[in-house]
Amino acid sequence: MTVSRREFIQWSTAAATLAATGLDLSASPAKTVPKKILILGGTGFLGPATIEIAQARGHQVTMFNRGKTRPDLFPGVEKLHGDRDPKKGEGLKALEGRSWDAVIDNSAYYPRTVTASASLLAPRVKQYLIISSISAYKEPNPENGTEDAPLATLADPSVEDLGEGNYGGLKALCEQAAQKAMPGRTAVIRPGYIVGPDDPSGRFAYWPMRFDRGGELAVPGAPTDPVEIIDVRDLAAWLVHLVEQGTTGVFNACGPEKRLAWGSLVADFQKAGHANAKPVWIPDEFVAKQEGLEFPIWAPYGGETKGFHTWRNDRAVKAGLRFRPADQTVKDTLAWFKTQEKVEKGRTKLAGPTAEQEAKLIAAWREAAKPKG
């Protein structure tokens, strides 16, 4: 699969990214002390955004992956090939004897493989940043939870299957594996929904694309429900900032800085979309009764998911995390998605209900909401 470099840069130009984040990156690349950064992965979503910014800041980047996904990205970047699993193929052999100032591990899914990479690199690396997730926290999540909230656990810590509700517990164990291998030199990053251009999941893109199609559309919950998102470009810029500062610790990378209302984000979708787009608000209790129906990004502000979109980010903000306006992310995501099939056909999809499911839901809600008697 070949990616047009020109088209890719159109949506991830690092100079524009840095200007939009609001990060205190007042030191120009010429004044920044260059770092040698190893990216474990680097081809998916967060990785490319991070590499663009690191390069713009004058850092030397090395990618380590299997060389199978988007191999044409970053022709000027050093690429080492192998496998996170030391038992497969050449494993981590390409990393042996090499040294870097920092490692950004954004492909950490199993503690055994994190232990292998972190232990191998520990003698020759100063800092290890591991990208975890707010899913690492025990459910149900507390409201306004901090980094000290209880973590998810697994009955079988050796399991290597991301399904069956194992994802959060595995992420927590990956964090602990990195911290054990490099005590005092790790930065654990727990993002919520990472959104923006180049996201192949279609979770966030569903909404601006659906509003762009116009007409009546179902919106779950209430306008006052909280929602947390972080633009991939803001997260990537912050990761580079943490490397430059040598920052360690545990951080919730959720945004924006102040609570964002679901209704405000929906208004941004509506403004960017078709003029005749008309949201039909449907209470979460009614949505929950519909089998097989899921809306991306949003979660009910009640029951077991009440705390899901309320994580505190004070610690990350103090460490330099900044956020662009949500409407900018909406507009950029819509523009990117519309061109995506011309750039990299078949990579992206759209999450969310089908048109038939949506129409059926709206009709059922209107019928249920009719006055009785």
> Where residue 252 sits, what CATH number does that domain have?
3.40.50.720
Residue 214 placed within a domain: no
Residue 221 placed within a domain: no
Residue 141 placed within a domain: yes
Residue 298 DSSP one-character state: -
What pLDDT, on a 0 to 100 scale, did the predictor assign at position 14? 38
Q: How far apart are CA 14 and CA 32, in angstroms?
A: 15
What pLDDT, on a 0 to 100 scale, did the predictor assign at position 342? 74
Mean pLDDT value of segment 162-166: 92
Q: Which residues, 6+ apart, have CB-to-CB distance to 59 below 8 Å?
A: 32, 34, 35, 36, 37, 240, 243
What pLDDT, on a 0 to 100 scale, did the predictor assign at position 373? 64
Mean pLDDT value of segment 291-301: 94
Within 10 A of 13 (CB to CB), how many other CB atoms are there?
A: 15
> Which of 354, 131, 129, 106 minimizes the C-alpha distance to 242?
129
User: Dihedral of CA 294/297/299/304: which sign?
Assistant: positive
Residue 266 placed within a domain: no
Q: How far apart are CA 346 and CA 340, in angstroms?
A: 9
342-352 residue pLDDT tens: 777 778 889 99
Q: Which residues, 6+ apart, have CB-to-CB distance to 120 below 8 Å?
A: 92, 95, 96
Structure tokens at 122: 């520990």
Residue 26 placed within a domain: yes
Residue 31 placed within a domain: yes
For residue 80, give its domain range.
5-197+229-258+310-324
Mean pLDDT value of segment 51-63: 97
Residue 79 confidence (pLDDT) above 90:
yes
Mean pLDDT value of segment 48-70: 96
Say if residues 77 and 56 touch (Cβ distance below 8 Å).
no
Mean pLDDT value of segment 56-80: 95
- Residue 121 CA to its chain's centroid (Å): 25
Q: How far apart are CA 228 and CA 70, in angstroms?
A: 29
What pLDDT, on a 0 to 100 scale, did the predictor assign at position 29? 58
315-371 residue pLDDT tens: 999 999 999 999 999 999 999 999 986 777 778 889 999 999 999 999 999 999 888
What total of structural domains would you count in the chain?
A: 1
pLDDT band, residue 47 (cuts 50/70/90): very high
pLDDT band, residue 22 (cuts 50/70/90): very low
Residue 355 placed within a domain: no
Span of 17-21, 205-209, 275-279, 359-363 with lowest mean pLDDT? 17-21
Q: How far apart are CA 366 and CA 19, in angstroms?
A: 46
Q: What is the DSSP string of 4-21?
A: -HHHHHHHH-HHHHHHHH
pLDDT band, residue 30 (cuts 50/70/90): low
Q: How far apart are CA 278 and CA 211, in angstroms?
A: 8
What pLDDT, on a 0 to 100 scale, did the predictor assign at position 370? 87
295 Rama sector, left if φ>0, alpha if ψ -120 to 50, beta otherwise:
beta
Residue 245 confidence (pLDDT) above 70:
yes
Residue 347 placed within a domain: no
